[in-house]
């Protein structure tokens, strides 16, 4: 009867805390084991607790060995006393003694309150962890609860989440009580319980916003191939439509820009360049470099690397403020892009890349690239000691490659000189023609 009252009391508390019966049974078992350890010692392993939530029963068993003379009453029972309970027992047999939970008296009630409160907090924390761990990558709307210098704390149903400064958009401004939308980036378990990290600067946040605003993205007709952001300032998004009848860019923009404007508003005015995907690198890179338009692209897909040539007055637009445009274009396409002026590029025709030089293997090219040695001049300017430290590079190999580079540069210089001479001859011919005509 006492057992049933104990369980009913626990059930009432657990119901308030939304703890299921299975977890409650485990908590009660742990509670009584805790009381046993306090009474008999932590090293005692001859006790077991069984809780039957359906019947409202708690059973505590203490295993003892039947002995002639008792030295440890916690683990042993004399043959004389054992035979009083079970006449068939012999020395070294196992005797099971049943302990009444009520024997723990007032200690049971006081300890139970503390233990149950602690366990309920642990169960609640684990429940929060399990629940939100499944939601990583989802967009949530919470309420700003606390504002600190480096962190913003957001609450959803009394669950506290953290939005660090580096995960915020620079021009975000919130006050306590404001609603905030963000993505669940990570859920980690710490000594204090679950730590839920939110983000508004993550690329996936933009992807999720497109899913929410563009039905074709949510349905899988339009795919977000890649995203690159300077959060709060500019964002480039590459999109692809699996249905030729549907324009990927047009669908993302929406009627009169309604869809894209909703996303821009959520990102506090962050500019978004929507780029139509192409499997041809030259087209994709050209689109990604918008608003600048390259006049020529020199693409090495193996590296992958691109030299983009622009009209002199277009270069600042291509690079963007603090190199932002070229950096985002490189990131969103997967190509390292170098932007150069047309006048500079034409004046540097003697510059060659190492993959154009004879006598250099692909393995050697990879090793040199790791040291940012990609051109002939880079190689010639490099310290010999650094080159010798590379696996597979000896004195003879270095000299041979240097010789091939110089020969290549000399050939290019000769070609350039011939072009200049040819231009001069043409100019002279034109001048002579003009003189004849005047006569």
CA distance 155 to 177: 10
| Backbone dihedral angles phi then psi of residue 252, each to the nearest 5 degrees | -70, -35
- Sequence ranges of the domains in the chain: 2-131, 137-199, 203-276, 278-341, 354-425
* DSSP reduced 3-state for 303: coil
* pLDDT over threshold 50, residue 420: no
Name the band, by pLDDT with cuts 50, 70 and 90, for residue 28.
Answer: confident
Q: Helix, strand, or coil here: 275? A: strand
Contact between 278 and 264 under an 8 Å Cβ cutoff? The reply is no
Angle at 40 between CA 105 and CA 66, to 5 degrees: 110
The percentage of residues in the chain with a pLDDT greater than 70, rounded to a whole number, is: 87
Looking at the domain that runs over 278-341, which CATH code has it been given? 3.30.300.20
Q: Taking Cα atoms as reference points, which of 103, 331, 340 lies closest to residue 235? A: 331
CATH fit for domain 354-425, picks 1.10.150, 3.30.450, 2.60.40, 1.10.10: 1.10.150
Of 9-23, 80-94, 370-384, which range is least confident? 9-23
Domain 137-199, CATH homologous superfamily name and number:
Nucleic acid-binding proteins (2.40.50.140)
Residue 428 pLDDT? 42
d(CA 335, CA 297): 12
Neighbours of 53 (CB within 10 A): 15
CB atoms within 10 A of CB 310: 22
pLDDT in tens, 145-175: 999 988 999 999 889 999 999 999 988 889 9
Average pLDDT value for residue range 96-118: 74
The yes-or-no answer to whether 2-131 and 354-425 have a common fold is no
State the architecture of 2-131 in CATH terms. 2-Layer Sandwich (3.30)
23 or 313, which is more confident?
313
How many whole angstroms separate alpha carbon 320 and alpha carbon 232? Answer: 15
Q: What is the mean pLDDT of residues 201-209?
A: 97
What integer pLDDT is reported at residue 385 of this predicted model? 86
Choose the most confident range, by mean pLDDT, from 15-29, 101-115, 206-220, 349-363. Answer: 206-220
Q: Which residues contact 27 (CB under 8 A, 6 or more apart)?
A: 10, 14, 19, 115, 116, 119, 120, 123
Distance CA 164, CA 192 (A): 18
Q: Which residue has the higher pLDDT, 155 or 363?
A: 155
Residues 274-279: contacts with CB under 8 Å, at least 24 apart: 274/237, 274/239, 274/248, 274/249, 275/236, 275/237, 275/238, 275/239, 275/249, 275/332, 276/238, 276/239, 276/240, 276/248, 276/249, 277/225, 277/238, 277/239, 277/240, 277/248
Average pLDDT over residues 356-377: 85
pLDDT at 27: 81
Which DSSP state fits 166?
A: G
Which residues are within 8 A (CB) of 22 and not within 5 positions of it... i.e. 6 or more apart?
A: 53
pLDDT of 415 above 90:
no
Which residues does 211 contact at the CB level (< 8 Å), separation at least 6?
217, 218
Architecture of domain 203-276: 2-Layer Sandwich (3.30)
Q: Over 80: is that where the pLDDT of 326 sits?
A: yes
């Amino acid at each position: 009867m006492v057992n049933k009252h104990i369980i009913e009391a626990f059930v009432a508390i657990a119901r308030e805390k939304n703890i299921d019966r299975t977890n409650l049974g485990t908590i009660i078992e742990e509670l009584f084991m805790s009381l046993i350890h306090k009474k008999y010692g932590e090293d005692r392993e001859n006790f077991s607790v069984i809780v039957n939530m359906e019947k409202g029963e708690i059973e505590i068993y203490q295993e003892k060995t039947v002995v002639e003379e008792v030295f440890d009453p916690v683990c042993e029972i004399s043959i004389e006393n054992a035979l009083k309970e079970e006449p068939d027992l012999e020395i070294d047999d196992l005797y099971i003694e049943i302990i009444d939970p009520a024997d723990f008296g007032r200690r049971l009630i006081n300890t139970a309150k503390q233990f149950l409160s602690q366990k309920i907090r642990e169960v609640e924390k684990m429940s929060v962890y399990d629940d939100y761990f499944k939601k990583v990558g989802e967009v949530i709307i919470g309420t700003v609860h606390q504002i600190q210098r480096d962190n913003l704390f957001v609450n959803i149903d009394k669950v506290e989440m953290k939005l660090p400064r580096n995960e915020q958009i620079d021009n975000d401004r919130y006050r306590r009580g404001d609603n905030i939308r963000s993505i669940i980036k990570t859920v980690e378990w710490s000594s204090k319980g679950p730590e839920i990290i939110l983000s508004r600067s993550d690329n996936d946040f933009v992807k999720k916003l497109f899913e929410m605003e563009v039905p074709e993205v949510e349905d899988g007709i339009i795919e977000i191939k890649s995203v690159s952001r300077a959060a709060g300032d500019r964002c480039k998004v590459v999109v692809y439509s699996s249905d030729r009848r549907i324009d990927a860019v047009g669908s993302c923009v929406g009627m009169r820009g309604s869809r894209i404007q909703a996303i821009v508003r959520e990102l506090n005015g962050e500019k978004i360049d929507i780029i139509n995907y192409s499997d041809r690198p030259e087209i994709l890179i050209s689109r990604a470099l918008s608003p600048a338009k390259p006049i020529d692209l020199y693409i090495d897909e193996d590296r992958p690397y691109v030299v983009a040539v622009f009209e002199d007055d277009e270069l600042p637009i291509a690079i963007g403020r603090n190199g932002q445009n070229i950096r985002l274009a490189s990131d969103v396409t997967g190509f390292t892009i170098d932007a150069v002026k047309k006048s500079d590029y034409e004046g540097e025709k003697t510059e060659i890349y190492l993959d154009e030089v004879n006598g250099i293997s692909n393995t050697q090219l990879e090793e040199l690239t790791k040291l940012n040695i990609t051109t002939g001049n880079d190689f010639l300017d490099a310290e010999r000691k650094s080159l010798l430290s590379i696996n597979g590079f000896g004195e003879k190999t270095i000299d041979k490659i240097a010789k091939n580079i110089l020969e290549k540069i000399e050939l290019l210089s000769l070609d350039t000189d011939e072009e200049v001479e040819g231009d001069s001859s043409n100019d002279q011919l034109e001048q002579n023609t003009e003189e004849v005509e005047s006569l």
